[in-house]
């Protein structure tokens, strides 16, 4: 046997192993197709978006949102509970009960009366949620951050208020990947709404007021700030109806004597100053304003202690969470009166 044969055999074996190794790393057509599909799926996920119908039309929001900003008071507690960071917000309008956005990493864009939109621009948001007190700033914001998606989900006139609250939280859930959490908030709200509806006797007269600066303002059915929509949702019988009532943040100017003469069975109270002036030496809690007012001394709601107070932070936190708390408080009070 030639001494070259073992060497040739060894070389042949090595070549075979090398070829086998190459065939092991070379994708078959089906494997290659699967790999390409996976790559395409990953790329699609990275470049995905969601289309939201807001108050201005269809808005395409690129996902995931990297640098969100919000001006809408209805959103702060929801987003904080979901752990959604913000790069900019009107800090003066966020109640102290919400601490998630008080840090220096969140740019302060002032308030609706003196907005600092330059701070918003510097924060470089890719999404801005516009609404409530900043609704009038929509066009200005759109012009200053043209690359950002803008969402305006402020409840629309002529639409059912409960549906509008749910529309907003549903959209936010889609945008931030919190669909399950949004569904839970809606379920909680619906349960509280049904409790309050079922507990109302259908005939007791209700008066809603806003206490501000020690004065008692009237919050009328449908239009009144905070309380107005609840008259419609719960089918409440108003103790007093004032022509051309408004959604004024301090309530409408109605004399306490008129309120007393209407003799409501229930009084619903929102303490406007509790969230903006609680540290002021001259601040008087709404409970004291109501109880110390001589004109209301003989009103049934007062003598029967049938008064429901909204959460202290309601004035700057009218989210679906706040309304769930309010509705449960109303249900508790109505149910308690029946026992």
Domain co-membership, 207 together with 89: no
| Average pLDDT estimate for 30-50 | 52
Q: Does 17 score more than 70 pLDDT? A: no
Domain co-membership, 80 together with 202: no
CB 151 within 8 A of CB 138: no
Closest to 299 measured CA to CA, from 270, 338, 257: 257
pLDDT in tens, 121-132: 999 999 999 988
CATH number at residue 60: 3.40.50.1980
Domain co-membership, 200 together with 311: yes
| Average pLDDT estimate for 223-248 | 89
Domain co-membership, 223 together with 333: yes
Q: What pLDDT, on the 0 to 100 scale, is given for residue 7?
A: 41
| Average pLDDT estimate for 61-75 | 97
Phi-psi region of 165 (alpha: psi -120 to 50; beta: other; left: phi over 0): alpha
Domain co-membership, 247 together with 330: yes
**Average pLDDT taken over every residue of the chain:** 87
The whole-angstrom separation of Cα 331 and Cα 172 is 28
Give the phi and the psi of residue 265 in degrees, each rounded to 5: -75, -30
Domain co-membership, 205 together with 298: yes
The whole-angstrom separation of Cα 288 and Cα 285 is 5
257 domain-assigned: yes
Phi-psi region of 158 (alpha: psi -120 to 50; beta: other; left: phi over 0): left
Q: Could you tell me which residues come within 8 angstroms of residue 215 by beta carbon, excluding any fewer than 6 positions away?
A: 250, 289
pLDDT in tens, 80-102: 999 999 999 999 999 999 999 99
| Average pLDDT estimate for 98-121 | 93
The whole-angstrom separation of Cα 184 and Cα 180 is 6
If one counts the domains in the chain, the total is 2
Q: What pLDDT, on the 0 to 100 scale, is given for residue 1?
A: 42
Domain co-membership, 130 together with 207: no
100 domain-assigned: yes
The structure tokens listed for 246 are: 């408004």
Q: Return the higher-pLDDT residue of 268 and 16.
A: 268
The whole-angstrom separation of Cα 154 and Cα 134 is 10
Say which DSSP state 115 is in.
Answer: B
256 domain-assigned: yes
Q: What pLDDT, on the 0 to 100 scale, is given for residue 303?
A: 96
Domain co-membership, 219 together with 305: yes
Residue 246 binned pLDDT confidence (cut-offs 50, 70, 90): low
| Average pLDDT estimate for 212-221 | 92
Q: Does 29 score more than 80 pLDDT? A: no
Q: What's the Cα-to-Cα distance from 218 to each of 145, 263, 308, rounded to whole Å?
A: 39, 14, 15
Q: Does 15 score more than 70 pLDDT? A: no
Q: Return the higher-pLDDT residue of 174 and 21.
A: 174
Q: Does 11 score more than 80 pLDDT? A: no
Q: What pLDDT, on the 0 to 100 scale, is given for residue 42?
A: 43
Domain co-membership, 83 together with 195: no
> Domain range holding 285?
187-338
pLDDT in tens, 266-322: 999 999 999 888 778 788 999 999 999 999 999 999 999 999 999 999 999 999 999
Domain co-membership, 95 together with 225: no
End of a domain among 139, 157, 175? 157
23 domain-assigned: no
Sign of CA dihedral 5, 10, 11, 13: positive
Helix axes 161-175, 179-199, angle to 10 degrees: 160
Q: Does 141 score more than 50 pLDDT? A: yes
Domain co-membership, 139 together with 203: no
Q: What pLDDT, on the 0 to 100 scale, is given for residue 248?
A: 62
The structure tokens listed for 208 are: 């809603």
Q: What pLDDT, on the 0 to 100 scale, is given for residue 279?
A: 76
Q: Does 137 score more than 50 pLDDT? A: yes
In this structure, the number of other CB atoms found within 10 A of the CB of residue 293 comes to 16
pLDDT in tens, 152-211: 999 998 999 999 999 999 999 999 999 999 999 999 999 999 999 999 999 999 999 999
Residue 34 binned pLDDT confidence (cut-offs 50, 70, 90): very low
Beginning with the edge strand found earlier in the chain, give each strand of the sheet holding 107-108 in spatial order: 107-108, 88-89, 68-70, 127-130, 149-152
19 domain-assigned: no
Q: Could you tell me which residues come within 8 angstroms of residue 50 by beta carbon, excluding any fewer than 6 positions away?
A: 60, 61, 63, 174, 175
- Kind plus residue range of the DSSP H or E element containing 34: helix 29-46
| Average pLDDT estimate for 19-45 | 44
In this structure, the number of other CB atoms found within 10 A of the CB of residue 53 comes to 12
CB 238 within 8 A of CB 259: no
Domain co-membership, 237 together with 113: no
33 domain-assigned: no
177 domain-assigned: no
Note every long-range contact of 302-308, with CB atoms under 8 Å and residues 24 or more positions apart, other chains counting.
Answer: 302/267, 304/265, 304/337, 306/265, 306/266, 306/267, 306/333, 306/337, 307/266, 307/267, 307/268, 307/269, 308/266, 308/267, 308/268, 308/269, 308/333
73 domain-assigned: yes
């Amino acid at each position: 046997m030639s001494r070259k044969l073992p060497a040739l055999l060894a070389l042949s074996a090595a070549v075979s192993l090398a070829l086998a190794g190459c065939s092991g790393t070379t994708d078959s057509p089906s494997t290659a197709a699967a790999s390409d599909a996976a790559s395409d799926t990953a790329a699609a996920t990275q470049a995905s978006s969601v289309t939201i119908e807001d108050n201005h039309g269809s808005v395409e929001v690129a996902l995931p949102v990297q640098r969100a900003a919000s001006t809408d008071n209805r959103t702060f507690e929801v987003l904080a509970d979901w752990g959604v960071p913000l790069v900019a917000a009107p800090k003066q309008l966020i109640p102290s009960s919400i601490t998630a956005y008080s840090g220096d990493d969140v740019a302060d864009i002032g308030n609706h009366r003196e907005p600092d939109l330059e701070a918003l621009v510097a924060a470089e948001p890719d999404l801005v949620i516009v609404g409530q007190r900043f609704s009038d700033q929509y066009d200005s914001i759109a012009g200053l951050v043209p690359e950002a998606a803008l969402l305006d989900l402020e409840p629309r006139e002529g639409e059912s208020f409960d549906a509008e609250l749910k529309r907003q939280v549903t959209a936010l859930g889609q945008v931030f990947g919190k669909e399950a959490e949004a569904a839970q908030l809606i379920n909680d709200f619906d349960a509280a709404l049904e409790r309050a509806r079922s507990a109302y006797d259908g005939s007791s007269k209700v008066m809603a007021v806003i206490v501000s600066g020690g004065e008692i303002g009237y919050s009328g059915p449908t239009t009144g700030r905070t309380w107005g929509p609840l008259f419609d949702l719960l089918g409440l019988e108003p103790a007093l109806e004032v022509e051309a009532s408004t959604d004024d943040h301090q309530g409408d100017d109605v004399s306490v004597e008129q309120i007393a003469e209407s003799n409501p069975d229930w009084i619903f109270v929102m303490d406007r100053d509790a969230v903006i002036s609680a540290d002021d030496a001259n601040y008087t809690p709404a409970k004291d304003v109501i109880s110390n007012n001589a004109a209301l001394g003989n009103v049934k709601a007062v003598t029967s202690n049938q008064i429901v107070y909204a959460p202290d932070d309601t004035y700057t936190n009218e989210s679906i969470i706040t309304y769930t708390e309010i509705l449960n408080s109303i249900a508790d009070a109505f149910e308690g009166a029946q026992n």
